[in-house]
Amino acid sequence: MSYEPESSSGPVPAHGSLWMEYAPGPARPALEGSVETEVVVVGGGVAGLCTAWELARAGHPVVLLEADRIASSVTGHTTAKLSALHGLAYADIRAVHGARAARLYAHSQQLAVEHVAEVSEELGIDCDLERVPAYTYTEDPQQAEKFREEAEAAREAGLAASYVTEVPLPFPVAGAVRVEDQAQFHPRKYLLALAADLERLGGRIYERTRVTGLSEGRPCEVTTERGYAAVARDVVVATHYPVFDRALLFTRLEPKRELVVAGPVPAERDPGGAFLTPEGGTRSVRTAPSGEEGRRMLIVTGEKFLPGTAGEGEVGERYARLEGWAAERFPGVRFTHRWATQDNYTPDRVPYVGRLHAGSRHVYVATGFAGWGMSGGVMAGELLAGRIRGREPAWTSLYDPVRLHPLREVPAVLKLQAHVTRHFVGDRMPGAYADSTADIGPGQGAVVRVGGRRLAVHRDASGALHAVSARCTHLGCVVHFNDEECRWECPCHGSRFAVDGKVVQGPAVHPLEQAEITEEEAGPS
């Protein structure tokens, strides 16, 4: 995955991701020739690094290829809650997949929480790991029964869950699910230490190496944008959103963006847990060490939306709503950090971890963590390493991407594809574009028509114009401008691009085509 520092984009003076302030570690070289190995892992986030490390620890030669810097893209912008309590997931999973599946889900996710604690102790990793209870709560008395049912489903699934009516937040709730023995940590401190140990074990990591092609066979071969090849018996695609479309997972994955704000509070105001409500566009609260005695960093997340669908100024308004909500409940907090994260959601709430498609024998994928990528990524590492080693865990079939549950999945897939079709067709209508570059102010962007061609045009702070093709290089949808983060975003499948067209986030692997434009030629459509 590619990474562009979020703190440098957009007009907001706040720092970006809290986790990205941590030193990136040594730079790894780019792949400068073809290599052969046993397993190639594509993607250096939590799922990719954990998979590669598990394999290397078991004695398997591994090569990991990362498009930018490891642990810096989606993983570098997470909220870093490490929990098996995933909102209101258990009643839903039990209803769709059955009670046994809910137990397997709970067991695999809780094992991931414990695995991070065990590995941290084994390797001596100081990753600010803290054991805390996790809560999913409601402020609406009419919703309390649903949360009581979730607590019962989570307890039946094997978690240390209970229903409570009081939580240690500075405002009242109507009811909540509480699960003991959960955790929170600094994801980059953990993963960069894991990467160092991976290399000590003989694994190789190549950064600034974007993979653009995959040939399945015996052996498999992945190719990079510079034309080099990595040949291996097995390949793991851990690029957050899969960059290869042959599995058609893009028809079953819905990308969602979420905003995060953080700021210091006195340590005595730390509520001492990880809290989430699905209400109001989601609100999540946790704290982290601040590095300053007597203070903690309050981290608040929420305002989910589909990338590429926000209108001008809307993302900034969402940040303001999130900060207003937090300031009302934690008076006096001053936010110093602001960033955004993105994840993919499956129709049945269970990630896709396993075979890339029904015919795959040596290519695997990990995606669809629905905002719970820390426990999900660690779980994926153990599952995929186990499959490659011929030691499949009991929950392998639960996460298999090839599964299909028509009663739940088909309506959701049809709804998702209707959204994609609406943008694919509707965004080509004249009303979706600016009439002229004169309508584009400094720091803004819009799609304009130039000689019958639609261009994504950005005007920088000095007034200069920068133009690229408006067609996403993934499947051709028209990109929209996110003025808060200064990014072009695809509303169909969530690809994101810098104003110069460079890929920031997949599934696209190729940049937007550069274009020339002048004020004179970019007139009304």
CATH of the domain at 29: 3.50.50.60
Same domain, 172 and 206: no
Same domain, 295 and 195: no
The pLDDT assigned to 430 comes to 41
Please list the helix, strand and coil fractions of the chain in percent, rounded to the nearest 5, in that order.
30, 25, 45
Question: Of 470, 514, 509, which is closest to residue 490 (Cα–Cα)?
Answer: 470
Question: Of 228, 234, 325, which is closest to residue 275 (Cα–Cα)?
Answer: 325
Q: What is the CATH number of the domain that holds 320?
A: 3.30.9.10
Same domain, 457 and 314: no
Same domain, 149 and 271: yes
Taking the complete model, does pTM exceed 0.75, yes or no? yes
Same domain, 261 and 307: yes
- Are the CB atoms for 326 and 261 separated by under 8 Å? yes
Half-sphere exposure of 395 (CA within 13 A, CB side): 26
Q: Is residue 98 part of a domain?
A: no
The pLDDT assigned to 411 comes to 59
Q: Between the CA of residue 116 and those of 18, 396, 397, what are the distances in Å?
A: 20, 20, 23
Q: Average pLDDT for consecutive 10-residue bins of the chain (525 residues)?
A: 33 72 87 97 97 98 96 87 96 94 98 98 96 97 97 98 96 97 96 97 97 94 96 96 79 90 94 94 94 92 86 86 94 92 91 93 95 96 96 95 66 51 47 65 82 82 84 87 86 86 86 79 47
Q: Is residue 92 part of a domain?
A: no
The pLDDT assigned to 13 comes to 40
- Residue 339 phi, psi (nearest 5): -155, 180
Q: Is residue 386 part of a domain?
A: yes
Q: Is residue 105 part of a domain?
A: no
Same domain, 173 and 56: no
Same domain, 297 and 173: yes
- Residue 232 phi, psi (nearest 5): -155, 160
Q: What is the CATH number of the domain that holds 455?
A: 2.102.10.10
Count of structural domains, the chain: 3
The pLDDT assigned to 369 comes to 95
Q: Between the CA of residue 511 and those of 236, 486, 500, 508, 517, what are the distances in Å?
A: 23, 16, 9, 8, 18
Same domain, 265 and 225: no
Same domain, 265 and 312: yes
Half-sphere exposure of 232 (CA within 13 A, CB side): 27
The pLDDT assigned to 429 comes to 40
Q: Is residue 317 part of a domain?
A: yes
Half-sphere exposure of 418 (CA within 13 A, CB side): 6
Q: Is residue 367 part of a domain?
A: yes
Last residue of a domain, one of 304, 325, 345: 345
Last residue of a domain, one of 345, 366, 385: 345
Q: Is residue 94 part of a domain?
A: no
* Residues forming a β-bridge with 505: 496
Range of the domain at 457: 430-515
Same domain, 131 and 272: yes
End-to-end CA distance of the chain: 36
- Are the CB atoms for 239 and 245 separated by under 8 Å? no
Same domain, 146 and 274: yes
Last residue of a domain, one of 345, 365, 384: 345
Q: Is residue 102 part of a domain?
A: no
The Cα–Cα gap between 122 and 110 comes to: 18
Same domain, 208 and 338: no
